[in-house]
Chain A
Amino acid sequence: MPDRIDYNILVRMLHAAVQQVRDNHQNLSRLDSFGGDGDHGTTMLRAMELLSKTIDSSPKQLPQLLHDIGWAIMGVDGGAAGPLFGTFFMSMSEAAAGKDSLDIPTLATVFDSALAGVQKRTKAQVGDKTMIDALVPAVRALRDAPDLATALQNAAAAAQSGADSTKNFKARFGRAKNAGDKSIGSPDPGATSVALIFRGFYQGFHSHG
């Protein structure tokens, strides 16, 4: 397994994340129909198709690619998801400035920055049934791993169990909060999207090695 993520490995990781959302977007929309208006899967699919197009059009340089992806996703015009997932990638780019590859401490810093960026945009905390429930444990899992493969594997698993945990929570943010108790019983679509993206990151990295 490589001990650094360079531009080419990052592109594989991103393509795998796109594929995860393509394969699961109908389920994301179904989850959103319990509390939201049932279009989260469509929005995420549009966001990921923009991501995919940006890989082709952006200069082949790691921080620039992350920046351009973030700005493209912000333009998805799909409510809060665009600014949140766009901020995620743009904040990664800020922490990756001047680097053409990421070793494990840098990767942890880059994802810390992504989390901090998203948390600047939403007051949601762990337990509020949002993407934060998957993002916080995923980023935490990255910090103490011995190598990149383990780090990304742990992050994917932590994101998944974070997303699963939202089944038991009552929505307190966004449109879903209006559903109140009706939101209990199914996982949050935003948290599920985060889990899919981290699963893609791990698969994309793994397929390289």
Chain B
Amino acid sequence: MKKFLNKPVNLVAELLEGFVLANADKLKLAGTNLVVRTNPKSKNKVALVTLGGSGHEPALSGFVGYGMLDISVPGEIFAAPGPPRVIEALRLANRPAGVLFVVLNHAGDVMTANIVMEMAKKEGLNVKQILTHEDISTGPRDNPDERRGLVGALPVIKVAGAAAEQRRSLDDCLAIATRMEANSATLAVAVSGATHPCTGEPIATFADDEMVVGMGQHGEAGTGSQKLASADKTAEIMLPMLLDDLKIKPGEQVLALLNGVGSTTLMELYLVLRRINQLLAEKKISLARSLVGQFLTVQEMGGFQMFIARMDPELLRLWDAPCNTPALTK
């Protein structure tokens, strides 16, 4: 492992210290290492809170700021925070307008969220939860519990966060987040592994000429392991699976998001986006918006997540609304 590290035991605390320094105009730490806005949102707007493991920078704390999140609760490397700091965050965010609690579907995150939601109910906190689970390779659409939450959390946070800034009610924000989530699909492709920064253990290993599309194990979407393909061919393999999952029809409008997970270059992602646009045009589907970058990474892993969502006029307006966070500015 070749990484610039100090003591593993201090890694997350040191990471957070640097992260807020680098974004001091937008973020600061509060309470027990909670990442909050430097300029808090007005109390009569709905607040957005999320939780998630560290090591995926800039996610998820990079989505804290105007137009998106109010508080992020970072866990240890690749591991959800436990209930004590998450309930602390919900108490801090609690307000009459309410709190939207965004949870990505991973075992540890959901377990913490379930415990915290029970506590919040007992304490009378005004919190509603949205679970994101849009990875089409880990479960069929009719069994969403199996589907992992990947980069699709970003558009959900973006549109719900915009609705919150526009003083929409908690029920409205939840309905918007739910609609965005239900119309989202992600498929991941991986070409090279990464190492856990604390243990130095490999997270996954790949042959030099191998790429793995989705999990491809239980008949869910994905091809599993196959020979590395060109950017065009990879788009041709992946995009139809997403369009099929969402049942996108000619004439509809989509958002495409390409999320590099670590060592895959923006150059490669632009090639893929170019081909996505051509393929959509052939099918008379409109690429209404697109976004390319590194938003939710897995250390130096190679590969990307292809995200497609069906958009309607309101979701597009909320997607276009201003935001000012370390990871996304509009």
Contact = CB atoms under 8 A, between A and B. Distances in A.
Contact of A173 (B8, B53, B76, B107): B107
Given A39-B78, A74-B115, A83 B199 contact: no
B75 A77 contact: yes
A43 B80 contact: no
A196 interface: no
A38 interface: yes
B85 interface: yes
Contacts of A33: 199, 201-202
B320 to A, nearest CB: 36
A82 interface: yes
B198 A77 contact: no
A77 B111 contact: no
Contacts of A82: 82, 108, 112
B114 interface: yes
B83 A83 contact: yes
A51 interface: no
A79 B108 contact: yes
B77 interface: yes
Nearest to B114: A121
Contacts of A180: 217
Nearest to B200: A38
A12 B171 CA distance: 51
A10 interface: no
B84 interface: yes
Given A75-B84, A77-B80, A79-B53, A121 B111 contact: yes
Interface string B103-128: 00011100110110000000000000
B187 to A, nearest CB: 15
B111 to A, nearest CB: 4
B79 interface: yes
A173 B215 CA distance: 15
Contacts of A76: 76, 82
A122 interface: yes
A37 interface: yes
A84 B80 CA distance: 12
B262 interface: no
B201 A75 contact: no
Query: Which of A33, A42, A43, A87 neighbours the largest number of chain B CB atoms within 10 Å of its CB?
Result: A42
Contacts of A37: 78, 196, 199, 201, 203
A178 to B, nearest CB: 6
A191 B230 CA distance: 43
A127 interface: no
By size class, the interface of chain A is 20 to 34
A98 interface: no
B81 interface: yes
B201 A83 contact: no
B198 A39 contact: yes
A29 interface: yes
A38 B8 CA distance: 14
A78 B111 CA distance: 12
A86 interface: yes
Nearest to B80: A79
A74 B86 CA distance: 11
Interface string A159-183: 0000000000000011100101000
Nearest to A84: B111
A202 to B, nearest CB: 28
A39 B80 contact: no
Contacts of A42: 8, 198-199
A71 interface: yes
A97 interface: no
A9 B75 CA distance: 34
A37 B138 CA distance: 18
B107 A71 contact: no
Interface in B195-212: 196, 198-199, 201-203
A74 B82 contact: yes
Contacts of B115: 74, 83, 87, 121
Contacts of B82: 73-78, 82-83, 86
Nearest to A71: B84
B145 to A, nearest CB: 9
Query: Which of A38, A79, A122 neighbours the largest number of chain B CB atoms within 10 Å of its CB?
Result: A79
Given A77-B85, A83-B83, 13 more contacts: A37-B78, A39-B77, A39-B79, A42-B198, A74-B84, A75-B84, A78-B108, A79-B78, A80-B107, A80-B111, A121-B114, A174-B107, A175-B107
Interface of B: 8, 12, 53, 75-85, 106-108, 111-112, 114-115, 138, 196, 198-199, 201-203, 215, 217
- 3 closest cross-chain pairs (CB), A and B: A38-B201, A79-B108, A79-B79
Interface of A: 29, 33, 37-39, 42-43, 71, 73-84, 86-87, 121-122, 173-175, 178, 180
6 contacts: A33-B201, A39-B77, A74-B83, A74-B115, A78-B82, A80-B108
